[in-house]
Amino acid sequence: MKVWLNGRLVEKRSAKLSVFDHGTLYGDGVFEGIRVYGGKIFQTKAHIDRLFRSAEVIRLAIPYTKQQLIDATYRTLRANRRSDAYVRMAVTRGEGTLGLNPNKCPKPSVFIIVDSIELYPPEMYETGMPVIVAKTIRTSPRSLNPAAKTLNYLNNILAKIECVNAGASEAVMLNEHGNVAEATGDNVFIVKDGRLITPPASAGILMGVTRAVVMKLAGRLGIAMEEKDFAPDALYAADECFMTGTAAEVIAVTRIDGRTIGGGQAGPVTRKLMAAFREFIRLPEAE
């Protein structure tokens, strides 16, 4: 495997950052997880724009243009002979000192990994997955702007540990007000009386790229939809529930905290959106 690191393609074993890199020491950096379907980067502009917005939030200057990073991604795909892949693009603060001062890091580090990813077994897309509501609360937007997709994922990891210990596949995280925010790596949707509902940006969520695509597809399909706050009780009472994410795509949730959701399988609205998403990724506008 070849990895793009600071402008060069290097072998995986040689793709290394300094232990003094602030990304390593403090999780100081930003990243994107991106899918490639049929040799084409999925939602290129949305992902690259979000990477640069995230960097702006934490006052990190990316030393490449958006087009240079897109070109580097395609170069890495070709080098690894991949047409379908998962891409991890990251920018760290760079090598510095043991102190927190980011001004001591003169040059950011940038790397692009092209690999495969499978979060859930294929059969789970038919049967749905079990999730829990985590006790770990989503970091408050007053502490860290959720619009920034940063390398510091400890909050999500602690909730993920809860779900692994519970034998579940994902964990829904609540915000400081007790409302549903998002899962450890996915956005959350419920369906009630035919209406699609998902938490708003103000709930402290990362505005997912796949989330935005699914919302657009729902509009095209004439599915009523709204962004609003809701508590865990709404999850349990939902007719359907599903999650969206770059790696997960669209996947049904059929059990939450041991309670069966709806009919215990992917519901009609979820199935319709799953099918629409799979069709969408083949269209030119998916790039």
Q: Quote the distance between the C-alpha of residue 38 and its chain's center.
A: 20
Domain 124-282 carries which CATH code?
A: 3.20.10.10
Tokens of 160: 């993920």
Joined tokens for residue 233 = 């009780």
What confidence tens digit (pLDDT) does each residue in 220-237 have?
999 999 999 999 999 999
Query: What is the Cα–Cα distance from 260 to 239, expressed in whole angstroms?
Result: 10
The β-bridge relationship of strands 170-174 and 129-133 is parallel
Other residues' Cβ atoms within 10 Å of the Cβ of residue 178 = 10
pLDDT of residue 119: 80
Task: List the CATH code of the domain at 2-115.
Answer: 3.30.470.10
Residue 274 CB-density burial (10 A; 0-12 exposed, 13-18 middle, 19+ buried): buried
Q: How far apart are the first and last CA of the chain?
A: 25
Instruction: State residue 126's pLDDT score.
Output: 86
Give the integer Cα–Cα distance in Å for 53 and 51.
Answer: 5
Low-confidence ranges of the chain (pLDDT < 70): none
CB 226 within 8 A of CB 270: no
Task: Say if residues 94 and 105 touch (Cβ distance below 8 Å).
Answer: yes
Q: Give the model confidence (pLDDT) of 259-286 as tens digits.
A: 999 999 999 999 999 999 999 999 999 8
pTM of the model: 0.94
Active-site residue flag, 149:
yes
Residue 47: the pLDDT is 97
- Catalytic residue, chosen from 2, 104, 107, 149, is 149
* Count of beta carbons in the 10 Å neighbourhood of residue 120: 15
Domain ranges within the chain, ordered by starting residue:
2-115, 124-282
CA nearest to 92, candidates 128, 131, 58: 58
